[in-house]
C-alpha cells in the first residue's frame, strides 16, 4: 500500500503522469490490511477493552467470563461469514473500474479474516478449558 501510494505521488507530482489505478489499489490494500489486522490484533491481544469489572472478579469467574467472551466472538465471526457469502456471490460479476479485478477478491477479505478470528477465539476457548481442567486435577 505504501509503495503504491508513493509511486502515485512520484508519478503525479514529479513525472506529471498520474497512475489511474494506484488509488484503487491502495484502497483495496487498505481493506485487506484492516481486516487481517483485526485478526492479528485479536491474536496478540491488542484490541482495547474495558477490564475494570473483569479485574474485580475472582479468578475463576474471570476465566468463565473470558470463555464466554471467546464464544461470543466466535459466534459473531461465524455470523459475519454467513452474511458475507451472498455479498461474495453478487460481486463475482462486478469488476473494479481501474484495475478490472473481480470485486469478490476484495470482499473475500471479510470471510477470511472472520474465519481467522473465529479460529483464534476457539483456540483461546480451548486453552481456557485446558487451564481450568489442569488446575482442578
Q: What are 56-85's pLDDT values in tens digits?
A: 899 889 999 999 999 999 999 999 999 999
Residue 19 to residues 4, 129, 130, Cα–Cα distance (Å):
10, 53, 54
**What are 95's strand-pairing partners?**
102
Question: Binning pLDDT at 50, 70 and 90, where does residue 137 land?
Answer: low
- The pLDDT, as a whole number, for residue 136 is 75
Average pLDDT over the chain reads 92
Domain ranges of the chain: 27-136
CB 66 within 8 A of CB 128: yes
Q: What is the mean pLDDT of residues 124-130?
A: 95
Q: What are 106-123's pLDDT values in tens digits?
A: 999 999 999 999 999 999
Q: What is the mean pLDDT of residues 15-33?
A: 93
Please state, in angstroms and rounded to a whole number, the distance separating the CA atoms of residues 111 and 3. Answer: 26
Amino acid at each position: 500500500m505504501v509503495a503504491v501510494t508513493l509511486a502515485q505521488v512520484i508519478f503525479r507530482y514529479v513525472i506529471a503522469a498520474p497512475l489511474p489505478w494506484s488509488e484503487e489499489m491502495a484502497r483495496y490494500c487498505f481493506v485487506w490490511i484492516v481486516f487481517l489486522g483485526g485478526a492479528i490484533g485479536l491474536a496478540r491481544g491488542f484490541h482495547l477493552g474495558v477490564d475494570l469489572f473483569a479485574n474485580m472478579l475472582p479468578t475463576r469467574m474471570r476465566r468463565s467470563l473470558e470463555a464466554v467472551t471467546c464464544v461470543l466472538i466466535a459466534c459473531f465471526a461465524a455470523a459475519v461469514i454467513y452474511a458475507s457469502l451472498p455479498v461474495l456471490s453478487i460481486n463475482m460479476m462486478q469488476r473494479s473500474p481501474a484495475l478490472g479485478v473481480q470485486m469478490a477478491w476484495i470482499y473475500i477479505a471479510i470471510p477470511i479474516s472472520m474465519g481467522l478470528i473465529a479460529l483464534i477465539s476457539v483456540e483461546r476457548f480451548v486453552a481456557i478449558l485446558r487451564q481450568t481442567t489442569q488446575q482442578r486435577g
